[in-house]
A and B are shown apart, each in its own frame.
Chain A
Amino acid sequence: MSVDQVKATIREGINAAEAAITILEQLRGDIAGTLDLARYTAHDSRHTHVVTGLARLAEARRELDTARRRLTGGIDAARDYLKILE
Chain B
Amino acid sequence: MSASIADVATQFRDVIERIDRAAVAALGASTDTEQAGGLYNDAAVGSSHPRIRAAITNTREGSAKTAKVARLLAESANAFTDYLNAIAPGTAPARQVSGGSVRTGAQIVEDSATKSRTGFGRFVQATSARVDDLSEIARNVAKAIDPDRGGSGTAAARTVPVAALPSTDVPDAAANLVVIAIAGAVVAKKLAELARRRHDNRDDQYSEGDR
Contact = CB atoms under 8 A, between A and B. Distances in A.
Given A13-B40, A41-B15, A81-B52, A52 B119 contact: no
Interface string B30-54: 1011011111101101100101101
Nearest to A54: B76
A16 B58 contact: no
Given A27-B25, A33-B18, A49-B86, 18 more contacts: A10-B39, A10-B55, A16-B126, A17-B62, A20-B36, A23-B25, A26-B119, A27-B22, A27-B69, A30-B22, A37-B18, A52-B79, A53-B79, A53-B80, A56-B75, A57-B72, A63-B210, A64-B65
B55 A74 contact: yes
B26 A27 contact: yes
B58 A77 contact: yes
23 contacts: A12-B39, A16-B36, A17-B33, A19-B122, A20-B66, A23-B25, A27-B25, A27-B69, A34-B15, A37-B11, A41-B11, A45-B83, A50-B79, A53-B79, A56-B76, A57-B19, A62-B210, A63-B65, A63-B72, A67-B33, A70-B59, A71-B33, A81-B51
Interface residues of A, number: 56
A20 B15 contact: no
A64 to B, nearest CB: 5
A30 B73 CA distance: 12
Could you tell me the dominant secondary structure of chain B's interface residues? helix
B76 to A, nearest CB: 4
Contacts of A1: 42-43, 45-46
Given A34-B19, A41-B8, A20 B51 contact: no
Nearest to A37: B15
Contacts of A34: 15, 18-19, 22
B165 interface: no
Interface in B120-137: 120, 122-123, 126
Interface string B110-121: 000000001110
B29 interface: yes
B162 to A, nearest CB: 19
Contacts of B14: 37
